[in-house]
Amino acid sequence: MRLILLGPPGAGKGTQAQRLIQKHGIPQLSTGDMLRAAVALGTPIGKRAQGLMDAGQLVPDEVVIGIVADRIEEPDAKKGFVLDGFPRTVAQAEALDAMLAEKGLKLDCVIEFKVDEDKLVSRIERRAAETEAAGLPVRKDDNPEVFRRRLEEFRHLTAAVAPYYEAQGVLKSIDGMQPVDDVTTAIEAIIG
């Protein structure tokens, strides 16, 4: 099964991806997590990405496309994957199509999280507070100012990705404002 979770930052994609990996045993491919790991390790990609990530801006397409191309070659991704946070531009979606076509593979479906974007800022503030309360490090870009920039990047660049997949007939939408368990149920109903 090859799935994409699509939606603005803070929509709950990461939480649902975690549940999907537990239930279906396929890996979560989160470009955000991969980039944060590269930043932590101080790799050349990490150094290139850090300032943009801290500012809530997108990392250049060729950087993330390269990361995903390498990642889907790994053995655990052979049986499928859940992409979370990629593609974020139409160019990334086109590159993914080309990568899969080269292997004779196709996406099963793209699940779009429909959310009330005005409510996301308070959601992200809560996420930061809960993370802090749990004694875990809070993401630098989980503060209202940077978050607003991330939301702008979504509206400006990522919003065009859903129509791209709609035209391919693989887009399914769910209400991402429901309680977490109900979102999971809606996803399971789609993927059967």
Q: What residues make contact with ligand AMP under the rule CB under 6 A?
A: 9, 31-32, 35, 52-53, 56-59, 64, 85-86, 88, 92, 141, 150
3-state DSSP call for residue 161? helix
R_g over Cα of the chain: 16
Write down the least CB distance from residue 120 to ligand AMP, Å.
12
**CB-based closest residue to ligand AMP:** 32
Residue 88 appears among annotated catalytic residues: yes
Cβ contact 51:104 at 8 Å: no
Q: What is the DSSP letter of 88?
A: -
Residue among 32 and 176 whose Cβ is closer to ligand AMP = 32
Residue 127 appears among annotated catalytic residues: yes
Residue 150 appears among annotated catalytic residues: yes
Residue 126 appears among annotated catalytic residues: no
Q: Which of 4, 32, 23 is nearest to 181 (CA)?
A: 23
Task: Work out the number of other CB atoms within 10 angstroms of the CB of residue 76.
Answer: 13
From the list 2, 13, 36, 71, the catalytic residue is: 13
Write down the least CB distance from residue 170 to ligand AMP, Å.
18
Which helix (H) or strand (E) segment holds residue 81: the answer is: strand 81-84
Tokens of residue 73, six digits: 């070659």
Strand order in the sheet with 2-6: 28-30, 81-84, 2-6, 109-114, 171-175
Write down the least CB distance from residue 35 to ligand AMP, Å.
5
From the list 139, 140, 148, 172, the catalytic residue is: 139
Write down the least CB distance from residue 169 to ligand AMP, Å.
23
Residue 114 appears among annotated catalytic residues: no
Positions annotated as catalytic residues are 13, 88, 127, 139, 150
